[in-house]
Amino acid sequence: MGIYIRIRGAAKKTFESIRNEKVKQNILQAVPFWVASSLTGLTAVLYARLFALAEREAAYFLHTRAWSLFILSPMCFIAAWWMVKKWAPYSKGSGIPQVMAAIELATPRFNQKVAKLLSLRILFIKFLSSLTMALGGGVIGREGPMIQVAGCIFRKVNEWLPAWWPKISKRNMIMTGAAAGLAAAFNTPLGGIVFAVEELTRTHISYFKTALFTAIIIAGLTAQALLGPYLYLGYPDVGHLSSYIFLWITIVALVAGLAGSGMSKLILGIFRWKEKFRFTWQHVLYVSTCAVILVTLALFVNGRAMGSGKELITSCLFTSEKYTSWYMPFLRTAGPIFCFTTGASGGIFAPALGAGASFGSTFASWLHLANADTNMLILSGMVAFLTGVTRTPFTSAILVLEMTDRHNVIFHLMLAGMIASLISMLVDKHSLYDHLKYQYVHAALHDNASTGTELKVSVNE
């Protein structure tokens, strides 16, 4: 009996020791996610404030010294392009394709290749280039860049861990960082989760769901602690919708989805055309021409041709100026083309939402719809256009849902996303991000960006 008690006591101590060791290991594995998430939230707040300041300065020049933009905008566009070309070619564009490429290459064999896509240099140049573009009135957003910035932060925290620390999957760390970055930028935690599942991961979510949820919560709460519990847009009136609203949603989704995918196709075509450029002056000429055209449209057609598009969205949703002119969808679709193809840093999420809103608003003006129906078409256009670019209907619907807190129209938004996703297949089987991801994977593997040359677009049909 005494031997049995001693054996039982020894087994109990062994079990407790194993359990304590497992708890200790789980905590150690969680700490890097907590630290990186907090840093991501703080960085998102800083970036949001600096970006808003740059946009306010651009608006100030537009309304008080409009003609000076013919000098300021080309200078800003060229400077934004040049710093990317000179110091960090992989910081160009939105940053989401780079994160997707990094996830694809996140193996021990390609660790140095991933470092080219996500690094502290990328982070700083991403900030400087996109803020310079925003100061020049560029039609860009900060959400895509924030995703790459968050990926850089999470990867760097993982890299700084001592050798004795429990190993953490580099792929899971980058995916979690990207989701946390989107959640902190838009204040949309569900959107961050859906984005990770729908766009980023090829790994079953059960392997890193705790880290993903924790990172998004910490990053979001950190941002909210400084900015307050805000909605990205607000609370538009979408009550008492007409019985035939689904018909108009379908039409808007078809048109906006085609426009979003068509814009993406045109952007890829311009990238292929730019591959023929052999001299620096050709790039400078192209970038400055894009700036001049954008300023001309803003001065002589409509000032809303410039900027991220958030001001246009809030005006349509929350003021009496709910209807936009018939040409506004063309302006808001052209803006991202002029800015995204320069090669500078800047996101396409916010401009895509602005373009989609202009489609919904213009269509509603033709039908003379009531305010609630008009708001519904604006939100549907936002979801559809973004889906046409990204091919992520659920992410697009959840993002717009969380930006407005209008849960009663979730099925309307999902319908718009699904229709846009299906119609976009007629234009291209792959999204803009998919095409650019292949570009960055190929470039990283062959060190094409180390010399600052233009990266070639690889298009998979």
Q: For 247-304, what is each residue's pLDDT tens digit?
A: 999 999 999 999 999 999 999 999 999 999 999 999 999 999 999 999 999 999 999 9
Q: 454 lies in a domain?
A: no
Type of residue at 221: L
Where does the pLDDT of residue 454 fall: very low under 50, low under 70, confident under 90, or very high at 90 and above?
Answer: very low
Q: Are residues 291 and 211 in the same domain?
A: no
Residue 143 lies inside a defined structural domain of this protein: yes
In a domain, 236, yes or no: no
Read off the pLDDT of each residue in 148-172 and give the average, rounded to a whole number. 88
Domain containing 94 equals: 32-227
- 273 falls within a domain: yes
What is the value of pTM for the model shown? 0.89
Percent pLDDT > 70 in the chain is 89
What's the number of domains the chain is made of?
A: 2
CB 260 within 8 A of CB 389: yes
Q: Are residues 434 and 381 in the same domain?
A: yes
Least confidently predicted of 94-98, 185-189, 307-311, 319-323: 185-189
Q: Which of 92-106, 107-121, 289-303, 436-450 has the lowest mean pLDDT?
A: 436-450
In tens, the pLDDT along 307-336 reads: 998 999 999 999 888 999 999 999 999 999
Chain position carrying tokens 């959840």: 398
Both 170 and 286 in a single domain? no
Task: For residues 1-23, give the mean pLDDT.
Answer: 58
| Residue 238 domain-assigned (yes or no) | no
Q: What is the structure's pLDDT at 184?
A: 84
**107 in Cβ contact with 101 (< 8 Å):** no
∠ CA 285-290-293, nearest 5°, is 120
Strand partners, 141: 347
What is the chain's mean pLDDT, rounded?
A: 87
Same structural domain for residues 111 and 163? yes
Q: Are both 258 and 199 inside the same structural domain?
A: no
Whether residues 130 and 188 fall in one domain: yes
Among 175, 196, 227, identify where a domain stops: 227
Domain match, 84 and 176 both = yes
- Write the Ramachandran bin of 234: left for phi over 0, alpha for psi from -120 to 50, otherwise beta: left
Instruction: Give the 3-state secondary structure of residue 162.
Output: coil
Number of residues that make up the chain:
461
Can you give the CATH number for the domain in which 292 is found? Answer: 1.10.3080.10
Is residue 124 domain-shared with residue 221, that is, in the same domain?
Answer: yes
With cut-offs at 50, 70 and 90, classify the pLDDT of residue 11: low
Is the pLDDT at 199 greater than 90, yes or no?
A: no
- The pLDDT, as a whole number, for residue 3 is 59
Contact (CB, 8 A) for 104 and 305: no
Which of 175, 201, 227 delimits the end of a domain? Answer: 227
DSSP secondary structure code for residue 199 in this structure: I
Q: Among positive and negative, which fits the CA dihedral 271, 277, 283, 285? A: negative
- Do 207 and 108 have their domain in common? yes
Asked whether residue 160 is domain-assigned, the answer is yes
CA contacts within 13 A on the Cβ side of 396: 34
Q: Where are the alpha helices (DSSP H) in 65-159?
A: 69-87, 96-105, 111-117, 120-135, 143-159
Whether the CB-CB separation of 91 and 152 falls below 8 Å is answered with: no
Looking at residue 420, what is its pLDDT? 96
| φ and ψ at residue 456, rounded to 5 degrees | -85, 145
Residue 221 lies in a domain: yes
Task: Look at residue 375 in the predicted model and tell me its pLDDT.
Answer: 94
Of 160, 195, 227, the one marking the end of a domain is 227
Continuous segment of H or E residues that includes residue 285: helix 280-300
Q: Are residues 300 and 434 in the same domain?
A: yes
Q: What's the mean pLDDT in 396-423?
A: 92
